[in-house]
Structure 1
């Protein structure tokens, strides 16, 4: 195991700003967080990882606003090229084009800047290059500007030429370093910022009943849930508050805490439905969570195991809400609180005009893997309620 020199990343400061460094395993060398941290952390991570030339991978909408990161890369001996044509849901054609640029320019590391699409695209790009190069591990430094939390997983989702969602997974795909600099999120569009916050809430909630998630991580998710309920409305009310944005980045981190041996089981029905709705009907994943999460939590009050319901019911304590007196009632109350949060953020949506009703059985079947799955009729009924 590599030894992290924490002092190398520490900044002496009397500021009360939320900032610091967290080191982990051989895969993830560290998370640097704090406003303005990218300017010092990026060169240090670059040197520590032994990289020689970097490809900056970002999305189309962020390209004009990512100049600060590109300028920092150009200031160190290691800038290679920028690829900015990563579209929503990481289309395979964009990944192939980025792979060509990475190879042609002799890059050996990716610095991904943006949301889940460029970060997942970087993972997919590295996955296929590693296959071609006999398993040689290639590296990524992730600089997220949304709250989608893609940087904390070992898997990547992208869309094939037919619009189908494809997934690849490997411990070697986890970013080798992550920088959470809230100042870089100020240019993220409000709708994207807040909706990916609901995506992080989706992670936190579904981890409460996700198989194999250990109790300490569930406790982190309950803490993340409370922070997201508190700080998302504050961020909407005061979008220029870097302090609030930094707290939301930490909440997103807690919602999907990286583990060396991540149990790569499905997060839950909200995510399963979101994956099928997102890529097929071009709905951003943050918005799919806004549409499905409340309804899925309400369904869990009916079909969840007793343990699942008890964990969900604990959320009311973390939200400083009174118990209804029953576990099932508390879970239903959580569903209402989620719905109210989404509405208060101006993100209330439905499937009308986006998804043909005749597609519902197919969506439910694809999300669950079979139309004989015990949850299939519940999923169909749930989707029908979302119009």
Structure 2
């Protein structure tokens, strides 16, 4: 635990049934009256973006522009196009409805506008962006996984260079995060499960990495308990709004935790699997988390033992002898993973994704070793360690 730490979560959080109907009031409080509504074509097709628009208009706030061309992996070009539409339409604020790609695109648009630039490339730099012009930003997540509504990170692709750029700045954090259970109601079971395991991984790694602090611990531990209480219910019954709300709250809490502490080796390898083999991020987290926790046990046994409390509840925690608690914590996660494999066939091994070959391991290892998340993992990992982990989950 560090002797000094910093923690920031400036967003006002609107959580619960009817949260959408409060957006107009929040924009007015931010001095904004001409928002640009951003989403993607799929959410328009399924009526999710329309729900948000209707809620805003029902409260007297009409979007001055609408941008629905955000792809699954957003890019510099998309950010620049949206920023151009914002300027031409006389907009003064951003309302983004979607998963991580949409929310990160909105962060990119905010960067371009705040800095008065024409191209996102002009804003490249880590934690170096000045505040610039304030562009009010309301984030409305439609998955309970990325936590982008509570993080200071935006990942945006540069297709010309075939790289994903990571922008980090406290100025990227939204002014308002809207967690309404209606926004995740249409998520299919497998996506619900995968994004939920992403949330759990954010929380476990945030609670055990080298930069953890007392506040991030509190957020992460609460997120873990919410995932264990609500994820299977949300997977089994997408119309269970209490479970959907619990997972939305968990995602935000975990996002705030890792945004202020960081993640670790699960994410380093998971990012590499996504980049090299296109393994969906949540599936990679589900596959890797127990194996990496076992790898970290020599450094994290005491901490994992403490996490058994939110993972399994006070009765099991009290009944489990202290030396057995670390493995019991891992087993609790494996139990959840087993239930998800049965109900929605969420893969628990790399071979089951259909996207990874053992011949990919060298490229995955090279990328994982260069991923920033590996720096704060509680136990150092080299190429041979990562190879052994990949073989273990193969």
Quickly name the TM-score band, shorter chain normalised.
Answer: 0.7 to 0.9
Partner of 1:383: 390
Instruction: Could you tell me which runs of 5 or more consecutive residues in structure 1 were left unpaired when the two chains were aligned.
Output: 1-23
**Equivalent residue in structure 1 for 2:19, among 27, 30, 37:** 37
Decide whether aligned partners of structure 1 residues 349 and 374 sit closer, same or farther in structure 2, where only a CA change above 3 A counts. Answer: closer
1:235 matched to 2:234? The reply is yes
Decide whether aligned partners of structure 1 residues 225 and 77 sit closer, same or farther in structure 2, where only a CA change above 3 A counts. Answer: closer
Partner of 1:178: 177
Give the secondary structure class of the aligned counterpart of 1:85: coil
Give the secondary structure class of the aligned counterpart of 1:43: helix
Q: Distance in 1 between matches of 2:220 and 2:265?
A: 17
Q: Is the 8 A contact 1:62 1:114 kept in 2?
A: yes
Partner of 2:42: 61
State the Cα deviation string for residues 3-35 of structure 1 (Å, max 9, x = none): xxxxxxxxxxxxxxxxxxxxx97x735111111
Instruction: Could you tell me which runs of 5 or more consecutive residues in structure 2 were left unpaired when the two chains were aligned.
Output: 1-6, 118-129
**Equivalent residue in structure 2 for 1:314, among 306, 312, 336:** 306
Greater share of residues in helix: 2
Q: Is the 8 A contact 2:38 2:97 kept in 1?
A: yes
Deviates more, 1:133-142 or 1:202-211: 133-142
- TM-score, length-normalised on structure 2? 0.81
**Equivalent residue in structure 2 for 1:111, among 73, 95, 100:** 95
Q: Distance in 1 between matches of 2:82 and 2:273?
A: 26
Q: Distance in 1 between matches of 2:223 and 2:86?
A: 36
Partner of 1:14: none
Work out the number of aligned pairs and report it. Answer: 355
Decide whether aligned partners of structure 1 residues 254 and 379 sit closer, same or farther in structure 2, where only a CA change above 3 A counts. Answer: same
Q: Distance in 1 between matches of 2:390 and 2:104?
A: 27
Give the secondary structure class of the aligned counterpart of 1:385: helix
Decide whether aligned partners of structure 1 residues 335 and 178 sit closer, same or farther in structure 2, where only a CA change above 3 A counts. Answer: closer
Decide whether aligned partners of structure 1 residues 105 and 290 sit closer, same or farther in structure 2, where only a CA change above 3 A counts. Answer: same
Q: Distance in 1 between matches of 2:88 and 2:282?
A: 34
Decide whether aligned partners of structure 1 residues 68 and 331 sit closer, same or farther in structure 2, where only a CA change above 3 A counts. Answer: closer
Give the 5 Å matches for 1:46-195: 46-64=27-45, 65=47, 66-75=49-58, 76-133=60-117, 135-148=132-145, 149-161=147-159, 162-195=161-194
Give the secondary structure class of the aligned counterpart of 1:225: helix
Give the secondary structure class of the aligned counterpart of 2:227: helix
Deviates more, 1:135-144 or 1:367-376: 367-376
State the Cα deviation string for residues 264-318 of structure 1 (Å, max 9, x = none): x64111112222222443333222212222222222225xx2xx33222222233
